[in-house]
Structure 1
Amino acid sequence: MESTPPLSVSEPAAGKLHIAMFPWLAFGHIIPYLELAKLIAQKGHKVSFLSTPRNIDRLPKLPPNLAPFIDLVKLPIPKQIPNLPLNAEATTDLPYNKVKYLKIALDALQQPFTHFLQTQSPNWVLFDFAPYWVGPIAANLKIHTAFFSICIAAFLGFLGPPSVLMDGADYRSKPEDFTVRPRWVNFETNVAYRLFEITRVFDSVTGLDDGVSDLYRIGAAARGCDVVAVRSCYELESQWLDVLEEIYMKKVIPVGQLPTTAYDSGEEETSEEWLGIKEWLDKQGRGSVVYVAFGSEAKPSQLELTEIALGLELSELPFFWVLRKRRGSDDTELIELPGGFEERTRGRGVVCTSWAPQLRILSHDSVGGFLTHSGWSSVVEAIQLERALILLTYLSDQGLNARLLEEKKIGYSIPRDERDGSFTSHSVAESLRLVMVEKEGKIYREKVKEMKGVFGDKDIQDKYVDNFLNFLRSQPS
């Protein structure tokens, strides 16, 4: 990366941009936005990174050489949003059925966000799907905007054009309609929801739930911006990027896969938590361990938890499982491991119910595979470190992510019942062994190694960011 002299946070240097970034209040969105902010700051541009106070305080510490370029801006949520638990500022603080109230809280930030734009006058705003109202506000102030989606092009392309998402022009009216390729996709693909995947999110996606639907927000974000930026690359989904330009009728720019980079590695390397984890991993055979984690939002039901646990036991593979039993203080659906499970697997497996350094664990030589919910940040981390993927989807874009990975032979999904998504401990065990050790699963292990060059290459990532910044600079102020 090019070196740059120190800059004042208040004024970017001549020829440099001031870019404001406003992600949705979910760490699966916040962290990729922060990764892009770091890459932009490395080029000497100023970034104002906006979120709520508690989320800003929970961000990983920035590298000292980039901290002067990235201004962390706190926008407090108004007090007493109905049904929103106290101190809930990110999706990780809430059970899934209360996330809609966090979107209402986000919508209440329009006034302070407008005030920020009026006083700071950035050259560009990069905004997420949830604050769909950013485009018109910025346009009134003559500020350029980019809808920056951390979701892949296949997900956006499958959902469709703004007319479908906003104006009631969608011919898909029931869950079954989302299980096949949409009409505007003119190439053969298996990217579509499975019935249980779309059924789980149908009300919030289509607006049958109270509030503004996710589909409407995505359509309005795409319609109201000057350009669309996507966490994607031509090497993986060039056809889907073409679909987006056709249906959005505006320029669509991939910004690369934004692989997670280490923060504060010195402190983490010596922390008691990491040293304990490392000591256990050091005792395991190279490439033998299954890492199990389902992100900050997905949470298995009790039945699913039991089958996952028994499947890990049946597989006879060593495992490290990061298990979230609760999502915030309002989560009343407590889940527990099967009786005797931890005793029976002691020594062979670890269940961690607190925070764990995912990137550092995946980096360890003993880890060979990753049982994941298919959240794209986790996928990128696994592929950049050549870890084979076993997929178990839960929410949102995860089903479409999984279809793309299956289609490319990069990941293998645990077999499930199409209607209710149920699965058995035997299917868990068989899937893990297939991908991790058996001859028939070698394709998944090899494909991940092939894709490392796309997902983990810093030069490729740098070119995507340069291309994006060149476009931003080329627009008249």
Structure 2
Amino acid sequence: MEAKKEEKLHIVLFPWLAFGHMIPNLELAKLIAGKGHHVSFVSTPRNIQRLPKLSQNLVPLIKFVNLPLPTVQNLPQNAEATTDVPYDVVQYLKKAYDALEEPFTRFLESSKAHWLFYDFVPFWAPSVASKFGMKSAFFSIFTISTLGFYGPPSSLMGNDSYRQKPEDFTVPPLWVPFPTTVAYRYFEIKKIFDVMSDNDSGVSDVYRLGSSIQNCDIVVIRGCTDFEPEWFQVLENIFKKPVIPAGQLVNTEFKSGEDNDRWRWMEDWLDKQEHGRVVYVAFGSEAKPRQDEVAEIALGLEKSKLPFLWALRVKRGPWDPDVLRLPEGFEERTKGRGIVCTSWAPQLKILGHVAVGGFLTHSGWTSVVEAVQNEKPLVLLTFLADQGINARVLEEKKMGYSVPRDERDGSFTSDAVADSLRLVMVEEEGRIYRETIKEVKDLFVNKERQGRYMDELLNYLLNHL
């Protein structure tokens, strides 16, 4: 057993083509390589070019494997990630990704890897790995509570008789044995209910997820058992196979000089602001508000009287015909008090600045981890995917406060935005959010704990070759 620990692993990582998936996979790759093991990170050429650069000490251990994305009808040329295309085009990206099965099989055969870590979209990957006697792990960037809420593989693959309509997802499921508020709100599940049915890729998202869990040797999950112990127990009960936490995978972004110019003028502006008073607003690489929602957010920022830095994606990729616009006169009225950045923003650096006192976010888990890392309390405004489940966990733990919304259509007012921001960042009543975010920080960023999770995971992988 001890001799085995001296062996060096070769692990293949195969994430879905969304930056909210690729970045945690890259963080996992860095941690594995940091322990002296080899990683092959498989993606498409353009995505690999867009990933943060590695520090020099990791370059020999992490090999990027370029698999050109096959051409499929209705998917624009050079669109290689969900951030490149409108929401309704993502199904064609999945179709192209499925067409990678043959080149991926050829790579895996020649890789001499020990383990394959794959995401939920390539549900066909574990059968490819087993052809070559390779073990496979479903690596979930979804949190422990999200997977616990989604349920056992049989339920996800179409054998769920009691969750048939959106309303059924607004209450905790039968397999959760403790009281909790963790469930979708009606407007959240209604917006994404299409994931339950087949799309133009031929396979539904929930089937992909269920099959990915069912056919792996182990489930490796982003998260830490100390943060969600009761949900971790749910997973062990419903998956009936080893579930191993990988830690929160805190972003250790290493950037070269090309981003410095943009950061320099932002930093210069932030340096002039009062400590803890600036609102940072960003909704990740996929969530795109509607035009009416953008107007309410803008007017809410204006009414809050707080300084703000807003990273606003006005469209999802160059082929998005629906370009978002700020309300007339907004930029003139808030000149000097706020900045709206419509291109890439260095989020980790912004959140790390002392002037930033709160984060208006979509509740994507990478953004949540970065906020906790920098002790910034959260104001929550969900849009897609697992964000509603994440938001309930953050509400329960008093780490974030959700902007009040209409339960049926999800609409909200500028007053609700302004009041929520002031509550979390300024008012005495919201002190609990400011304090709790500092208290949980150690659970997320403690290097010793993260190291322990990684050692336990790697020991398991070595001992089950």
TM-score range, shorter chain: over 0.9
**Residue equivalent to 1:404:** 393
In 1: Cα distance, 2:444 partner to 2:217 partner: 27
Alignment-derived partner of residue 378 in structure 2: 389
The one-letter amino acid paired with 1:82 is Q
Shift of 1:60: 1.0
Match of 1:362 in 2: 351
Match of 1:289 in 2: 278
CA-to-partner distance for each residue in 1:219-259, whole Å, 9 max, x for gaps?
A: 00001100000101012111111111111110101110001
Say which SS state the counterpart of residue 184 (structure 1) adopts: coil
Same amino acid, percent of matched pairs: 61
Whole-Å separation in 2 of the counterparts to 1:379 and 1:122: 33
Is 1:36–2:11 an aligned residue pair? no
Task: Return the letter of the residue paired with 1:424.
Answer: T
Task: Determine which of 117, 127, 137 is the counterpart of 2:128.
Answer: 137
The reply to whether residue 244 of structure 1 matches residue 235 of structure 2 is yes
| 2:172 matched residue in structure 1 | 181
Residues 40-67 of structure 1, C-alpha deviations (whole Å, 9 max, x = no match): 0010000000001110111111000001
- The residue type paired with residue 143 of structure 1 is M
Written as runs of structure 1 = structure 2, the 5 A alignment for 1:420-459 is: 420-459=409-448
2:218 matched to which residue of 1? 227
Compared with structure 1, are the counterparts of its residues 77 and 176 closer, same or farther at alpha carbon in structure 2 (3 Å cutoff)? same
Give 5+ residue unaligned stretches, structure 1.
1-12
Match of residue 4 from structure 1: none
**How many corresponding residue pairs?**
461
Secondary structure class of the residue paired with 2:438: helix
SS in 2 for 1:139: helix
**Helix, strand or coil: the match of 1:145?**
strand
2:324 paired with 1:335: yes
Aligned equivalent of 1:45: 37
Q: 2:163 aligns with which of 166, 172, 187?
A: 172
SS at match of 2:417: helix
User: 1:203, 1:209 within 8 Å by CA — same for their partners in 2?
Assistant: no
Deviations 1:383-417 (A, max 9, x none): 01100100000000000000000011111000000
Deviation at 1:136, TM superposition (A): 1.2
CA distance in 1, matches of 2:196, 2:356: 36
2:311 to 322, 325, 332: 322
Aligned counterpart, 1:3: none
> 1:253 corresponds to which residue?
244
Which of residues 27, 51, 57 in structure 2 aligns to 1:59?
51
Partner AA of 2:65 in structure 1: V
Please, which of 360, 363, 383 is the counterpart of residue 374 of structure 1?
363
Which residue, 85, 94, 100 being the options, matches 1:103? 94
CA distance in 2, matches of 1:170, 1:143: 35
CA distance in 2, matches of 1:210, 1:188: 37
Within the alignment, does 1:211 sit opposite 2:176 as a pair? no
* 2:302 matched residue in structure 1: 313
Matched-pair contact (CA < 8 Å) for 2:300–2:418: yes
**Partner deviation per Cα, 1:162-216 (whole Å, 9 max, x = no partner):** 1111143342110000000101111111110000000001012343776311110
1:82 aligns with 2:60: no
Structure 1 residue 70 corresponds to structure 2 residue 59: no
Letter in 2 for 1:33: N
Contact 1:410–1:447 (Cα < 8 Å) also in 2: yes
Report the 3-state secondary structure (helix = DSSP H, G, I; strand = E; otherwise coil) of the residue aligned with 1:48.
Answer: strand
Q: Report the TM-score when normalising by structure 2.
A: 0.97
- Cα-Cα RMSD: 1.2
- Distance between the aligned counterparts of 1:316 and 1:184, measured in 2? 45
Q: Secondary structure at the match of 1:73?
A: strand
Asked if structure 1 preserves the Cα contact closer than 8 Å seen for 2:95 and 2:200, the reply is no
Structure 2 counterpart of 1:19: 11
* AA matched with 1:304: E
Q: Does the CA contact (< 8 Å) of 1:205 and 1:213 recur in 2?
A: yes
Aligned counterparts of 2:56 and 2:63: Cα–Cα separation in 1: 13
- Contact 2:372–2:438 under 8 Å retained in 1: yes
- Which one-letter code corresponds to 1:260 in the other structure? N
Is the 1:195–1:419 contact (alpha carbons within 8 Å) kept by the matching residues of 2? yes
Cα drift, residue 14 of structure 1: 5.9
| SS of equivalent to 1:236 | coil
Larger displacement relative to structure 2 (450-459 or 223-232): 450-459
- Deviation for aligned residue 1:267: 5.4
The aligned counterpart of 1:152 is: 143
Contact residue 399 and residue 433 of structure 2 kept, 8 A: yes
Supply the distance in 2 between the matched residues of 1:266 and 1:75 (Cα, whole angstroms).
27
| Structure 2: segments with no counterpart, 5+ residues | none
* CA apart distance, 1:140: 1.9
Among candidates 266, 271, 277, match of residue 277 of structure 1: 266
Map of 2:459 onto structure 1: 470
- The answer to whether the Cα contact below 8 Å between 2:301 and 2:418 also exists between their aligned partners in 1 is yes
Q: What's the CA shift for 1:308? A: 0.1
> Given the two structures, how large is their TM-score scaled by the length of structure 1?
0.95
Note closer, same or farther for the CA distance 1:451–1:14 as it changes in structure 2 (3 Å cut): closer
Indicate the SS of the match to 1:336: coil
C-alpha spacing 1:55/1:265, structure 2 compared with 1 (3 Å): closer
- Provide the rounded CA distance (Å) in 2 between the counterparts of 1:273 and 1:205: 41
Shift of 1:335: 1.3
